[in-house]
Structure 1
Amino acid sequence: MDKPKMHSPNFVEQNIEKLATLFPNCVTEAKNAQGELTKSIDFDLLKQELSSHLVEGPQERYQLNWPGKREALLSANAPISKTLLPQRDESIDFDSTKNLFIEGDNLDALKLMQETYLGKIKLIFIDPPYNTGSDFIYEDDFAENAEDYKIRSNEKDEEGLKLVANTDANGRFHSDWLSMMYSRLKLCRNMLKDDGAIFISIDDGEASNLRKIADEIFGDDCFVSSISWKKRSSPDARATIGSVHDTLLCYVKNNLQPKSAISKMPLSSSRKKAFTNPDNDPRGPWASVDMTGMTGRATKDQYFDVNLPSGRVIGPPEGRSWGIAPATFEKLRNDNRIWFGSSGDNVPRIKKFLSESDGQVIPSIWDSDETGSNDEATKEVLDLLESPKIFDTPKPTKLLKRIIKVTTSPSNEDIIMDFFCGSATTADATMQVNLEDTGNRRFIMVQIPEPCSEKSEAFKAGYKNISEVSKKRIFKAGQKIVEKNKDSKYIKELDIGYRALKVDSSNMAEVYYYPDTISQEDLFSQVDNVKEDRTEEDLLFQVMLDWGVDLTLPIQRETIQGKTVFYVDTNALVACFDKDEGIDEDFVKNLCEKEPLRVVFRDAGFANDDVKINVEQIFKQLSPHTEVKSI
C-alpha cells in the first residue's frame, strides 16, 4: 500500500524529470550527501547541449565515455548551410509518390530533415556498418574553429565524401565508430513520434557499447528488448565459437506508450497449427490455455470447486489457484469456452479462438525460418538486380516485414525511415507489406554515394556507388511487385515510386550568410544572393525544408502574369522566384485569392522597394493568416 508523502513537492526531482524528457542523455547517477546513488543531471553534458562550442570539465559519474564523445555531441547540434536538391531524372513518379530517397551523408540529411519530420517518424530501422576493421564508416569533422566551420558548412571548398577505413591499427578504433553512431542516433530520436520505435541491427563487436549509448540517448527506461536474429544456419568453421546471429536493439520514444509503439506479431504458422476444433465449435479452430493462477496473487474467491461434466468435483491443483473468479468461470462455461477434455474429466482450460486472436507476444529469438537469413537476402538482391553478389550481408525482406507489421498501421500513413539503407530492403519490405494489407505506409531512405571498388561485383555490374544500387533495387522491387500482383485491385494504388533528393551545398551564395564580409567594390557582383547554377525548384525545396513543409507534398507549377508560381499542396506554400523585377501589387493580390498558409518571393523579383514593403500589408488585409517571407 502506498503511503502519503507528508512533505511538500520535491521540485528538484520534478525538474530532473522535465530535463530528462528533453535531454535523456543528460540524466545520470551520482552520490548524494549520504553516499547513496541517486538520479541526477550531468551538468557538463547539459552545458554542451546548450552550447555551440566545445565545453570542457568532466566529472566522475556512471557513463560510457570515449575520446571524441563531446565532439560528437557538438557535431550533432552544430547547424549546417546545406540543402536537398530535387533529382527529377532519378526519381520514380516524382509528382505523385509519398516516398523519399535521399542521397548524401546521413548526418547532413538528418539535420536537414529536423524541421520537416520532427516527431513524425513511426519506425526507424538501421543496419549501420559493423565495426569489423575493414568496413568503411562515416568520418565527421568534430572540433574546428569558426573559419574552418564556415568553409565546411557553406561548401567554400569541396571536401568530397567523408569516408575512412576504421582499421584495428587506428588508436580510436571503437571511439570513431561510437562518435559516428552517437551523433546520428541523437538526431534521429527527435524525429520519432511519441509512439515511435527504433530497431538497430548490430553484431557482437559493438553490441554492448551500442546498448550503452542508446540507453543514454533514448533513456534506459525506453529499452524494450535485445532480439537475437538467426542470420545463418551454420557458424564459421574458422571460429572458436561461431556467431550465427545478429542483435536487434529495440527502443521506443516514450516508455509510457510501449504497447502503442510495438504491438503483438501475427501468429506464426507453427502457432496456428496448435488451433484445432475437436468439439466442432461453430466459431472455428481454438486452442486451450491454462485456467490456473499463482497463489500469491489469488483472492479468496479464486479457490472454488468445479463440477466436471464427468460428475467429479475438483478444486484447483495443489499449490495453485484458479486464474478467474467463480462468476467469470460460469459465464465462460455457459458460452462453451471451457474445455474439460474429450472425456469431460480433465482440469478445465479456457478456449481461445483463432478468429479472435490479436496475435502473439513477440519472442526475443527470431529464427531464420520465419524471418529469413543473409543467404536468402543475398538471393533476393541477386534475383532483382540480375547480377552477381553485390552486398555481403544484406537483410531479408521477411525480417523487415515482421518489424514493420508490429510497429506500424496500414491506415495512418506511417513513415518508416532507414538512414543506412544499403540494399534498400526496408523500402522493398514497406511496399510488400502495403500490398498485403492495402496500407499507405511511406518510406524515407538515406544512402551516402559510397564509391564501389573497381574490383567489386557492383562496379563490374555498372554501378559507380552504393546509392545507385539502392535506387535500382527499389525500382526493380516495385516492378516485380506489380508484375506478380497485376490482378490485384489495390495494385494501381500501391506507391512504388520515390522522390529523389540529393544533399548539396546551399542554394544561397556566400553573401546571404555573411553580408558583412562583402566589400563595397564587390557589391555589384553580389546583387543576386542565389547561386547561378540553381533552379527555381531547387530554391523551392530549400524553402520547404526551412519552413518544415512535407517534402513529398504535390507540387503544381502555374504561369500567372508571365511569372512562374509554385503551389505546394494547393495552398500549403506558394512560391515565386522570378527575378525580373516584375512582381507588383496586382500580382501579389492575385496570389492572395488562394489564401496560402505561406508565401515566399525572391528579393530580386520585386518591381521596386515600395512593392516589397507593401507585400506584407496586402496579405494582412486580404489573407491575414498567410506567413510571408523573401529570400
Structure 2
Amino acid sequence: MPEIKKLVLDDPDTKSADIVAGNVDALKALLPDAFKEGGIDFDVLRQLLGGAVDEKDEKYGLNWHGKRKARQIALTPSTGTLLPCPDESVDWDTTQNLMIEGDNLEVLKLLQKSYAGKVKLIYIDPPYNTGKDFVYPDDFHDSIKNYLSLTGQIDEGGQKASSNTESSGRFHTDWLNMMYPRLRLGKTMLKRDGAIFVSCDEAEHPRLRVALDEIFGEENFVADFVWAAGRKNDSRLVSVSHEYIVCYARDKGYLTELKVEWRQRKKGLEDIYAEYERLRKTHGTDYAAMTAGLKAWYKNLSDSHPAKAHKHYNRIDKRGVFFPADISWPGGGGPKYEVLHPATKKPVTIPARGWITPDPKKMQDWIADDRVEFGKDEKAVPTLKKHLRDGEYQPPYSVFYQDGRAATKRLRTLMGEDVFDFPKDETVLQELIEMMTGDDDVIMDFFAGSGTTAHSVMAQNALDNSRRRYVLVQLPEPLDPENKGQAVAAAFCKDLGKPLNIAELTKERLRRAAASVKVGAPAFDGDLGFRVYKLAPSNIIAWEPEPTDLEGTLLANAEHLVPGRTEQDVLYELLLKLGLDLCVPIERKDIAGKAVHSIGGGALIVCLADGLTKDSFEAVANGIVNWWKELAPAVDTRVVFKDSGFADDVAKANMAAILNQNGILDVRSL
C-alpha cells in the first residue's frame, strides 16, 4: 500500500544543504576504492592519493584557536527557516530582489539549496577589527536560539561578546572565527565564473589574505584593490589613508579559459563628449579649430578632474575625438615596406621598429579609411588614429582614489540624517558591478549594512537597462537610544515607527535609493523592489518526547507545525528546503473547497488544508492530478500535505494511492 512519507525536523529535506554529505558523495564517486561499509578507509585513501598527502607536522598555513570549530560550524546544516514579510517589502509580487534579516551564517546555510553556484559577484564589507563590538558567538549546538538571543527576540543569555580589544589575547582569533565559516559558505554560492570582493583595512588584511588563500586557493587570487579615500592627519608616524578590496575568483583558470576580460568605463568621458559637441556646433567641420578648442579646454581643467587623465585625446576629425598613437611594431623587428605620402606621393619615413602591421593591404585600408594621420610631408613618421569611442573601456586599475566623504554626504542627503557610519561609495561598487556582471546576474552582500550594494545594483540596472538581482543579508542588531553612537539612528527608526535595529535602516535606504534611481532615470521600468524575509526557527516542531509523560507529549505533537505560523510561512520553508528560488511564482487554486498551491510551474504542489476525509480526499486528489497534467512540469513533482489535515490514516493512504497511480510518486506530509 503506498504511503505518504512524513517530513520531520531531522529529515534532510527539512534542513539546509548538508555540505559534508555532498563532499563525501563527490569523493566516493571519484575514489570508490577508499570506501568500506559506508565509511572512509584513510589508509587506502592515502595510497590512492600517493604523494599528494602531506603528513608532516609542520606546514605553511594560518592556524588559530577555534579554527577547527569554525570549519565545523560552516558544515553543520541549519534547521531554521525564513519567514516571508510581504507588508515590509516593496513590489512583493513582481520583485526578484531579496533583503533577509538574520545571522548571515545561518542564512547562507539556508540559501545553499536554492542559490549555491548561482551568484556572479559577492561584495562584503565586514566589520573591521578595530577593537569595537563585532563578535557574535556562533553557537555550535543551537545557532538559531543564539541568534534570537543576540537580537533581543528572547530574554535568555548569549548577548554580544565584549569589546574585542588588542589586550584580550584573542584579538585576531575572534575576528577569524567569525569570518572563516562565512567565507567558506560564501564560496559555495559563487558561479564558476564568479568572484568575491572583500573590503578590509590594515588591521586584518594579512590574515584575510591567508584565510582566503586557504578557502579559495592561492591560485585564484586576482588582486588587492587599494582604495585611497583621503588624507588623515591624526597620525604621529604615517597617515594611513587607504583601504583594501581583496578579490578572489571562484575559478581563475576557468576565466582564463573563457578569455574573460573585466573592463571599466573611463571616467570623465561625458564631459569630453559634451565639449566636443559644443565645439562641433561652433566650428562645424573646421577640425583644426575644434582641435585647438579641445586642447584649450583640457588646459583649463583642474588636475583633479577625471577628464584630465585623457588629455592625450586632444585631436578631432570627422569621426570625433582621437589621439595620434604609435604606428610602429612593438619591441622592434617589424616589417618595413613602402608607404606613400598622400600629398607628396613619396615614401614616408619608416618607423625604426617597422610598421605595426605586417600586411601592406591592411595599412592601405587604414589609409583609405582615414585612420592614419600623416605629417606635412614624407619626412615625418605617420601615426595611427585611436578614437575615444573605440577605447572607452580599460582594465580596472588596482589603485584608485575616491574621496570617502562624498558617499557620506550623499547618504546624508538621501536619509536626512547621519544614520550610518562610514558607508561605502555606491559609485565604486557600481563600477565593480558593471565590470563583471550582466543581465540577470545575481549579486550578493551578506554584510549588507547601509545597503550600498543594492543601491549600486539598481543604479547600474537603470544605466544599462539590465535585470541584475541582489540578495542582501543583514543582522537586525538592536540600536540603543542611550548609546551616543547609536542615538541618531535609533531616533530615525522611532520616527518611522519601525523597530530599533540596523536592518530597518537598511530597508529604508533601499526604499529611498529606489525612489532616487527612478527620479534620475524616469524611463527605467526595471525592478526597484525587494522581498523581506526573516530568520526564524523551523515551522516544523521538533520531536522532543517527555519520558515522564509520553502520552501527553504525543497529544501535544499531534499538530506538527508551530502555532501562529501561516500557510505562507510553511510554503516558503518548503521552497527553501527543496532548493527552489525564493522568488519563484506561486499559483493558488481551490480544489473541492481546499486551497492548493503550485510552486515553480508544478515542481511542488502543496495542500495544507484541514478536513481531508473519506468524503473529500478523492476530489482533491483528482483535482491535483488534473492540474498537474495541465502544468506538465519538466521535473519530478513533489506533493506535500499537512499531516494533521487528514481525518485518519485511511484517507491518507488512499490519497497517496490515487496520486501514485497517476504518476505522482513523491508524496509527503508535514
Q: The TM-score by the shorter chain falls in which range?
A: 0.7 to 0.9
Q: Is the 8 A contact 1:305 1:316 kept in 2?
A: no
Aligned to 1:495: 527
Mapped pair 1:474 → 2:510 = yes
CA distance in 2, matches of 1:416, 1:197: 10
Provide Cα deviations, 1:487-515, integer angstroms capped at 9, x if missing partner. x2x2xx2212111001111111121x889
Aligned to 2:478: 451
Mapped pair 1:360 → 2:360 = no
Does 244-253 or 415-424 show the bigger shift?
244-253
Quick one: structure 1 residues 465 and 83, their matched pair in 2 at CA, closer, same or farther if it must change by over 3 Å? same
Mapped pair 1:268 → 2:258 = no
How do residues 191-206 of structure 1 correspond to structure 2 at under 5 angstroms? 191-206=189-204
What fraction of aligned residue pairs are identical, expressed as a percent? 36
Q: Is the 8 A contact 1:96 1:554 kept in 2?
A: no
- Offset, 1:601: 1.4
Quick one: structure 1 residues 93 and 288, their matched pair in 2 at CA, closer, same or farther if it must change by over 3 Å? same
How do residues 506-517 of structure 1 correspond to structure 2 at under 5 angstroms? 506-511=538-543
Counterpart AA for 2:453: T
Q: Is the 8 A contact 2:592 2:619 kept in 1?
A: no
Aligned to 1:383: 413
Aligned to 2:626: 593
Aligned to 1:101: 99
Q: Is the 8 A contact 1:154 1:505 kept in 2?
A: no
Q: Is the 8 A contact 1:305 1:313 kept in 2?
A: no
Q: Is the 8 A contact 2:493 2:505 kept in 1?
A: no
Q: Secondary structure at the match of 1:500?
A: strand
Mapped pair 1:523 → 2:554 = yes
Q: Secondary structure at the match of 1:137?
A: coil
CA distance in 1, matches of 2:424, 2:351: 48
- Offset, 1:613: 3.1
Does 210-219 or 156-165 show the bigger shift?
156-165
Mapped pair 1:237 → 2:234 = yes
Counterpart AA for 2:435: V
Counterpart AA for 1:304: K
- Offset, 1:315: 4.1
Which has more helix, going by share of residues?
Answer: 2
- Offset, 1:151: 7.4
- Offset, 1:293: 4.2
Aligned to 2:78: 80
Mapped pair 1:420 → 2:444 = no
- Report which of the two structures shows the higher radius of gyration computed on alpha carbons: 2
Provide Cα deviations, 1:368-399, integer angstroms capped at 9, x if missing partner. 1xxxx331111122112212x22221111111
Q: Secondary structure at the match of 1:201?
A: strand
Structure 2 counterpart of 1:291, from 319, 327, 338: 327
CA distance in 1, matches of 2:227, 2:143: 42
Q: Is the 8 A contact 1:380 1:396 kept in 2?
A: no
Q: Secondary structure at the match of 1:533?
A: coil
Mapped pair 1:545 → 2:576 = yes
Provide Cα deviations, 1:249-308, integer angstroms capped at 9, x if missing partner. 111112123366662111222366544554x24x4333343333444xx7x7x3324435
- Offset, 1:623: 4.6
CA distance in 1, matches of 2:638, 2:377: 74
Q: Secondary structure at the match of 1:257?
A: helix
Q: How many residues align structurally?
A: 557
Quick one: structure 1 residues 459 and 396, their matched pair in 2 at CA, closer, same or farther if it must change by over 3 Å? same
Q: Is the 8 A contact 1:275 1:354 kept in 2?
A: yes
Q: Secondary structure at the match of 1:523?
A: helix
Counterpart AA for 2:92: F
Q: Is the 8 A contact 2:541 2:561 kept in 1?
A: yes
Aligned to 1:11: none
Q: Secondary structure at the match of 2:381?
A: coil
Structure 2 counterpart of 1:584, from 594, 597, 617: 617
Does 164-173 or 470-479 show the bigger shift?
164-173
Q: Secondary structure at the match of 1:292?
A: coil
TM-score by length of 1: 0.81
Structure 1 counterpart of 2:467, from 421, 432, 440: 440
Q: Which runs of 5+ in 2 are unaligned?
A: 1-26, 32-49, 269-306, 495-499
Counterpart AA for 1:468: E
Q: Is the 8 A contact 2:106 2:143 kept in 1?
A: no
Counterpart AA for 1:629: R
Quick one: structure 1 residues 449 and 61, their matched pair in 2 at CA, closer, same or farther if it must change by over 3 Å? same
Quick one: structure 1 residues 183 and 344, their matched pair in 2 at CA, closer, same or farther if it must change by over 3 Å? farther
Q: Secondary structure at the match of 1:398?
A: helix
Provide Cα deviations, 1:545-579, integer angstroms capped at 9, x if missing partner. 11110001233344332222223344343211123
TM-score by length of 2: 0.76
CA distance in 2, matches of 1:324, 1:357: 19
- Offset, 1:521: 4.3
Aligned to 1:51: none
Q: Is the 8 A contact 1:598 1:627 kept in 2?
A: yes
How do residues 14-93 of structure 1 correspond to structure 2 at under 5 angstroms? 40-41=52-53, 59-93=57-91
- Offset, 1:161: 5.9
Counterpart AA for 1:246: E
Q: Is the 8 A contact 1:555 1:568 kept in 2?
A: yes
CA distance in 2, matches of 1:150, 1:73: 18
Quick one: structure 1 residues 484 and 329, their matched pair in 2 at CA, closer, same or farther if it must change by over 3 Å? closer
Counterpart AA for 2:531: R
CA distance in 2, matches of 1:423, 1:154: 22
Give me the CA root mean square deviation: 3.1
Counterpart AA for 1:522: T
- Offset, 1:616: 4.5
CA distance in 2, matches of 1:39, 1:154: 47
Counterpart AA for 1:585: E
Q: Secondary structure at the match of 2:393?
A: coil
Aligned to 2:304: none
Quick one: structure 1 residues 134 and 523, their matched pair in 2 at CA, closer, same or farther if it must change by over 3 Å? same
Counterpart AA for 1:290: D
Counterpart AA for 2:255: P
Query: Which structure exhibits the higher relative contact order, with contacts defined as CA atoms closer than 8 Å and separated by 6 or more residues?
Result: 2
Provide Cα deviations, 1:227-263, integer angstroms capped at 9, x if missing partner. 111222x223334211221111111112123366662
Counterpart AA for 1:423: S
CA distance in 2, matches of 1:70, 1:414: 34
Q: Is the 8 A contact 2:541 2:560 kept in 1?
A: yes
Structure 2 counterpart of 1:137, from 135, 138, 144: 135
Counterpart AA for 1:562: G
Aligned to 2:458: 431
Does 608-617 or 587-596 show the bigger shift?
608-617
